[in-house]
Amino acid sequence: MDCFEIKNNSSLVRIFHAAPQAQNIDVYVNDQMVFSDLAFGDFTKYVYLDEGEYNVSVYLAGQKDRPIINQMVDISSQQIFTVATTGNLDNLGLLVIPDKVSKSPSQSYSSLRVIHLSPNAPGVDILVDG
């Protein structure tokens, strides 16, 4: 991930579609479509949002009669977030995940983050080098 410059009083936010039972989705922020036709397993690009509280509504792609998720999300300033759609169709929600991005990337090391978002899978073990 490239380093990002964050504007004053704003944050960078992207959406990760991690709800396996939901087909493609459209994402609205304060009743304005921000992302459309996002497929399961895909991430959007980052967008700037000013600090504040936002109503995030998620609809099945091309539909706007009834949201499958309607949730308030609080965005603090000078941060980078991934907002994941999670759960099964009968219990969907949003999970706000702070992204850690270094202003000075290491020339020697990489970082990896694993987040278990599968609603039907048991706990998992993550092994590195065995």
Q: What is the pLDDT of residues 1-50, one digit of tens each?
A: 445 677 788 899 999 999 999 999 999 999 999 999 999 999 999 999 99
3-state secondary structure of 109: coil
What whole-number distance in Å separates Cα of residue 10 and Cα of residue 81? Answer: 11
Across the range 56-83, mean pLDDT stands at 95
Q: What is the CATH number of domain 1-130?
A: 2.60.40
Each residue of 52-69: pLDDT tens digit?
A: 999 999 999 999 999 999
Considering the entire predicted model, what is its pTM?
A: 0.86
Amino acid 109: pLDDT? 79
**pLDDT greater at residue 42 or residue 113:** 42
Domain ranges, ordered by start, for the chain: 1-130
Instruction: Classify residue 38 as exposed, middle or buried by CB count within 10 Å of its CB (0-12, 13-18, 19+).
Output: buried
What whole-number distance in Å separates Cα of residue 11 and Cα of residue 70? Answer: 21
